[in-house]
Amino acid sequence: MRSSSIDRKALVEIAQAVERERRRIARGLHDGVGRQLSEAARELDCFDADARTERLRTLIEDALDSTRSLTFDLGLPPVGEHGLGGLLETVCRGADARHEIDVLFEEHGEVVELSDGVVLVLSQIVRELLFNVVKHAKASTASVSLRYEGNRVRITVTDDGIGLTGELSDRGFGLADSHSRLRDLGGRFEFGSKDGSGTHVVLELPVG
C-alpha cells in the first residue's frame, strides 16, 4: 500500500514538472518567436505591395498561426481554476478551434472532488489522445465524455477516423505511456479500434 502511494506521488510530481516545462516552452514561443514574427509582418508594411511581399506576408502569417496553435497546445490552464470538467472542456475547445476537427465535450453525474495532481494527469492523457486523433486519425469529429459514477470516474475519447490498426496500433503513438500513467494511479485503460471505423479509449479511475 505504501509503495502504491509513493508511486502515485512520484507520478504526480513528474506530471507537474512536465507541465511546468511545457509552460516555460510555451512562454518562450509566445515571447520570442511569436513576437519576432509579428515584428517581421509589421516591417513588410514598409515595402511596396507586390507578389513577393504578399507571399512573404502569407508565409509569416501562417508561421504565426502555427506558433500560436503550438503555444496553446503546449500549456494547460492552471488546474485549481477549473477542476477536471472545466480543464477537459478547455482542452476540447482548443483542439476544436485550432484544428480541422469538431471536438465535442459532455459531462455527466455528480461531480467528485479530485486532487489537483490527479486532475493534471488525466488532463494530460486526454490532451495527448486528442493530439493523436488530430495528427493520425484523419477524423472529422471526436468526442470526450466525462462521467462520474459513484466511486469512480470514467472518461471516454472517441473519433470517427481511419482507426489505428496494424503498424499504427503497434507503434502506439503514446498509448502505452498513457496506459502506464493511468495504471500507476490505480486506474484502467481500455483501447479499441477497427480499420476505417475510428477508435475509442476509456480511462477509468477509482476515487474516494
Examine the fold and report which residue of 29, 60, 75 is the final residue of a domain before the chain moves on. 75
Rounded Cα–Cα distance for residues 119 and 70 (Å): 22
Residue 171: pLDDT band (50, 70, 90) is very low
Residues 141 and 196 in one domain: yes
Residues 71 and 86 in one domain: no
Number of Cβ atoms within 10 Å of the Cβ of 37: 20
Mean pLDDT, the chain, whole residue set: 79
Residues 96 and 62 in one domain: no
Lowest-pLDDT range of 87-91, 95-99, 126-130, 153-157: 95-99
- Range list of β-strands (E), 45-140: 102-108
Residues 67 and 114 in one domain: no
For residue 46, give the C-alpha cell.
Answer: 514598409
Number of Cβ atoms within 10 Å of the Cβ of 97: 10
Is it the case that residue 173 has pLDDT exceeding 60?
Answer: no
Q: What is the pLDDT of residue 158?
A: 95
Q: What is the pLDDT of residue 132?
A: 83
Return phi, psi of residue 13, to 5°.
Answer: -65, -40
**Pairing mode, if any, of strands 152-159 and 141-149?**
antiparallel
CA Rg value for the chain: 20
Residues 40 and 94 in one domain: no
Q: What is the pLDDT of residue 80?
A: 65
| Contact yes or no for 157/143 (Cβ under 8 A) | yes
For 154, the 3-state DSSP assignment is strand
Is it the case that residue 174 has pLDDT exceeding 70?
Answer: no
Residues 8 and 50 in one domain: yes
Residues 65 and 3 in one domain: yes
- Residues of the chain above pLDDT 70, percent: 72
Rounded Cα–Cα distance for residues 18 and 76 (Å): 11
Residue 170: pLDDT band (50, 70, 90) is very low
Give the CATH number of the domain where residue 120 resides. Answer: 3.30.565.10
Average pLDDT over residues 7-35: 68
Residue 137: pLDDT band (50, 70, 90) is confident
Residues 54 and 36 in one domain: yes
Is it the case that residue 27 has pLDDT exceeding 60?
Answer: yes
- State which residues form the domain around 69: 1-75
Q: 9 versus 68: which is more confidently predicted?
A: 9
Residues 92 and 63 in one domain: no
